[in-house]
Amino acid sequence: TTTSGRIAALVAEPIQGVGGFITPPKEYFQVLAGIVRKYGGLMIIDEVQTGWGRTGRMFGIEHWGIEPDIMTFAKGAANGLPIGVTIATPEVADSVRGSTISTFGGNPVVMAAALATLEVIEEENLAANCQLVGDYLAEKLRELAEKYPVIGDVRGMGLMRALELVGPNKEPAPGAVLELFEETKKRGLLIGRGGLYNNVIRITPPMVIGKADVDAAVEILDRSLAEVTGKLANHQVD
């Protein structure tokens, strides 16, 4: 196939969401941005899951030290009310000609919710809380990883953390994730899953939690992992 050899844009999440919280190395986006801009493309960053302080910075991409041309947001931007947000550099925004209309665009109730959400994040310094409590959570999760070989990796930033579950030969263990789901639910803890093989536990608690909440959650994870590990040893999990 013949192409122009130019790049229109690159769209990426700072940390993959449904993809399993894959967290790129420090130089990753610097290299990508250099390549994309060398060939005249735009950097479009999807902050739907990483934005508004969750990773310990207001915007997740700040950890990599680049300024995107376009950023998109949703979900947490209005604390759960339906919203979609796109922001861009003046150069990009001014290049868009014409106008668009939307029956539901600019909904006053949602705009008020978004403003209130932003005010709380700033006034209560929730990004810093995500960094502080998130580091504590990561420490506790690494302790679990040392205790349970079924945990193959601990990754993420701030209050966006993941456990990747694996089998004896480091193969993905989605069955263990499903079992862990049920065990934690019975004990009052709801967790998410993701990853290419559905073998990743995704942990994104409310941004207002403290260390005591982390301790309570990790205790449930510990007891649940013990139960799942026992089932794995007895070949009761696919």
The pLDDT value given to residue 1? 60
Q: Which residues contact 37 (CB under 8 A, 6 or more apart)?
A: 43
Tens digit of pLDDT for each residue in 3-18? Answer: 777 889 999 999 999 9
Identify the structural domains of the chain with CATH numbers, from first to last.
9-123 (3.40.640.10), 126-233 (3.90.1150.10)
Whole-angstrom Cα distance, residue 106 to residue 84?
Answer: 10
The pLDDT value given to residue 238? 66
DSSP class of 98: S
Distance from chain centroid for Cα 126? 16
The pLDDT value given to residue 97? 78
Query: SS3 for 222?
Result: helix
Q: Which long-range contacts (CB under 8 A, 24 or more apart) does 139-143 make?
A: 140/214, 140/215, 140/218, 141/203, 141/218
Tens digit of pLDDT for each residue in 115-159? Answer: 999 999 999 999 999 999 999 999 999 999 999 999 999 999 999
Nearest to 202 by CA among 28, 59, 54: 54
| β partners of residue 193 | 201
Nearest to 199 by CA among 157, 228, 219, 223: 228
Output the six-digit token pair for 177. 């994730």
The pLDDT value given to residue 184? 97
The pLDDT value given to residue 33? 96
Check if the beta carbon of residue 162 is closer than 8 Å to that of residue 20.
Answer: yes
The pLDDT value given to residue 194? 95
The pLDDT value given to residue 232? 82
Low-confidence ranges of the chain (pLDDT < 70): 1, 100, 238
